[in-house]
Structure 1
Amino acid sequence: MDRKTFHTQSSAALRHIDEILGDLEHDELDVDLAGDVLTLAFAGGDQFIINAHSAAEQVWMAAGTTAWHFDWVPDSGKWIARKTDEELMATVSRVVGAKLGLAVEL
């Protein structure tokens, strides 16, 4: 993938997550997008980090003790973790929803 496509797709994904989770206005979650790093800070001090890793051309996510590396799949238009076959938006929805104790849909 070329750099422009990576930047366009990764930026769109991070902005989408930032917008939807930021709109939750949940007291237990603070959402901060700074450049290509999205930090989800929870009450109690836990943080989930989602970032665009340009050298690897992947979106990386760390949540608790688990990490994912998502690759852009043009045919599906989605970011997919090759090792687990999980999709970025579904994964973020699942782990954030579990942490907050509510249904989250991205």
Structure 2
Amino acid sequence: MTDIEYLDQAEALLRRIELACDRINDTSDADIDNQRVGGMITLTFPNGSQIIVNLQKPLQEIWMAARAGGFHYRYDGGRWMDTKDQGEFWDHLRRFASEQAGMTLDFSS
């Protein structure tokens, strides 16, 4: 993957997170505060816990830090997959955010 292709896919992922948070906040009581600074998004939940998603441009990866731990994802041509074969980014984000919010959250389009 070229650097430009990586940035296109990574920026699309960050934008999708932002839009999903806005939709979740409009349709539920989740009250997720999402702040984006450059290539990093911080999701803050009412209980004070956070999930941080950021770009790792030199490695062409996306990194996520949550209460469950730290995870690295690489684009496989169709999905962002954990580099240790532990799953897919969107499945992890849904699960970790739901745990931290104390309610089921849906980040799908």
- Common fold, TM-score beyond 0.5? yes
Render the CA deviation track for 1:22-81: whole Å, top value 9, x for unaligned.
22224542011222101001223222100111011100000025000000001xx10000
Q: List 4+ stretches of structure 1 deviating above 6 A.
A: none
Structure 2: runs of 5 or more not aligned: none
Alignment TM-score, normalising by the size of structure 2: 0.86
Q: Say which structure is richer in strand.
A: 1
RMSD: 1.5
Map 1:11-90 onto structure 2 (within 5 A): 11-25=11-25, 26=29, 28-64=31-67, 66-74=69-77, 77-90=78-91
Q: Percent identity?
A: 25
| SS in structure 1 of the partner of residue 51 of structure 2 | strand
Gaps of 5+ in 1: none
Matched residue count = 104
Comparing both chains, which one has the higher relative contact order based on Cα–Cα distances under 8 Å and sequence gaps of 6 or more?
2
